[in-house]
Homo-oligomer: A and B are copies of this chain.
Amino acid sequence: MNAPHAFEAPQEPWATLTHRPVPDAMRAALRAHFGPRCSEALAVRQQHGRDESPIDVAPPDLVVFAESNEDVVAVLTLAHAHHVPVIPYGAGTSLEGHLLAVQGGVSLDVSRMNRILAVHADDLTVTVQAGVTRHQLNAELRHLGLFFPIDPGADASLGGMTATRASGTNAVRYGTMRENVLGLTVATPQGELIRTGTRARKSSAGYDLTRLYVGSEGTLGVVCEVTLRLYPLPEAVSAAVCSFPSIDAAVRTTIAIIQMGVPIARCELLDAHAVRAVNRHDRLSLPESPMLLMEFHGSEAGVQEQAQTVQELARDMGGTDFEWATTPEDRTRLWTARHHAYLSALQMRPGCRCVTTDTCVPISRLAESIQASVAEVEDSGLPYFIVGHVGDGNFHMGYLIDPDQPQERAVAERLSAQMVSRALALEGTCTGEHGIGLHKQSFLLDEAGAGAVAQMQALKRALDPHNIMNPGKIFSLG
């Protein structure tokens, strides 16, 4: 590694935020309301004070397990009266420190709010409680011939996916949570339940409160119920892997697919490091070079047509070893491996932690964006891997660092910052799907500018004047 001591460990500005403890009266009231569903045990608090980011745990003062909208309202009514922070908690799978109780307060665990409230198969809509996970939902839908496509990898809760504007492998065809949430039931910071949206597919009725809550990271209210668009299971599905001589060739194939308007359902890049990791972890024998993992949805004839077009484009770019997986078992094996990429990569360097970045750029800028990031990380000597929802122009770089070597963390943060700066210069975004959380606040400012961030802060102050909802996330109100 070059000059590993030239970089300081990054500052953590949230470390300076004041603790806002839960007063005794509120603790007592919560205990009275929730009984054994209110916990002050350290282990429970610590489990609720972390997510899948590498940021140190910041436990809440206590954890309550809500089972109904009324439970949520009870917590918020108390928190509003006592000006105490509330952090909604779903499956704990966020990636940018969203769940950390950086000012203390109450972690409001909604994972037990896990009922599917209404499936309207005829309308292709479903309404779920916030704690329902995407696997649970799809298991329920399968016998109806329907599915919900948004797939962030982890088995996240739909409330959490709403809060982070989640995305994933299917977004290139089906959009993200932004496009697929029809409406919400939200508990406001004042403890009032409101409904945004209806079950109509589109509407021009007033401000788009639904889209304001989607991606608000729990800072404006608590998502209690989510109404989602569903899709008919495609008549035919086919998946394929194709290996390429270089990342560039794989990315240029992707660009051609998108520009030709092929309605590809999934188009994922794995670099050679990621392929090697999943080979080992999932006992596969994929060629250890850059790979596209693709899926096609449609009629039998449509899928064949798409596949043929893509195969021709890939061959033109030097793609080889085109391999098809048409049985559900083969497809599941491939996609499971893809979803294990993160865990698999961690095992390539035992004891390591992973600093993950997430940028998204206009598709024509994707090749240069990845190439430059690869050159920089190669130069640094840090182990890394790349996975990307490249059909969207979105990719993740994972830097594998030794937690006992602060300079490695510093190097990873520097590389990540360079990658984000480049994405912004290429007219992209500092985060395609992971969100801002604690970790990307300065990048948000770089991207949106002070004026736009000031508008976000004004919206936050208007809806949550005591700053009780997940304080310290997205921006500082300092």
Q: CB within 8 Å of B: which residues of A?
A: 120, 122-125, 164-167, 171, 175-176, 178-179, 188, 192-196, 198-209, 211-212, 214-216, 231-232, 234, 255, 258-261, 263, 298-299, 301-302, 305, 360-365, 392-394, 423-424, 427-436, 440, 443-444, 447-449, 451-453, 455-456, 458-463, 474-475
Contacts and interface: CB of A to CB of B under 8 A. Distances in A.
Nearest to A309: B299
B431 A204 contact: yes
Q: How many copies of the shown chain assemble into the complex?
A: 2
A201 B392 contact: yes
A378 B332 CA distance: 56
B362 A455 contact: no
Contacts of A462: 458-459, 461-462
30 contacts: A122-B259, A124-B363, A165-B204, A167-B204, A178-B208, A198-B429, A198-B447, A199-B362, A200-B360, A200-B393, A200-B427, A200-B429, A201-B360, A201-B362, A202-B432, A203-B360, A204-B433, A205-B448, A207-B212, A207-B215, A207-B216, A207-B459, A208-B211, A209-B448, A209-B456, A212-B212, A212-B459, A231-B261, A234-B261, A301-B305
Contact of A200 (B188, B361, B451): B361
A423 B199 CA distance: 11
A393 B201 contact: yes
A392 B164 CA distance: 27
A436 B206 contact: yes
Contacts of A214: 208
A240 to B, nearest CB: 19
Contact of A206 (B192, B202, B231, B475): B475
Contact of A203 (B211, B260, B432): B432
Nearest to A427: B199
Nearest to A255: B122
A263 B207 CA distance: 29
A430 B205 CA distance: 7
Contacts of A194: 448-449, 451-452, 455
Contact of A452 (B123, B195, B200, B301): B195
A305 to B, nearest CB: 6
Contacts of A435: 204-205
Given A258-B124, A451-B194, A461-B462, A206 B393 contact: no
A362 B125 contact: yes
Interface centre among A123, A302, A424, A461 (most CB of B within 10 A): A123
Nearest to A391: B201
A444 B431 CA distance: 34
Contacts of A440: 205
A202 B231 contact: no
A420 to B, nearest CB: 10
Minimum-distance CB pairs A-B, first 7:
A211-B211, A462-B462, A122-B364, A232-B261, A203-B429, A123-B362, A194-B451
B196 A452 contact: yes
A453 B207 CA distance: 9
Contacts of A179: 175, 179
B202 A167 contact: yes
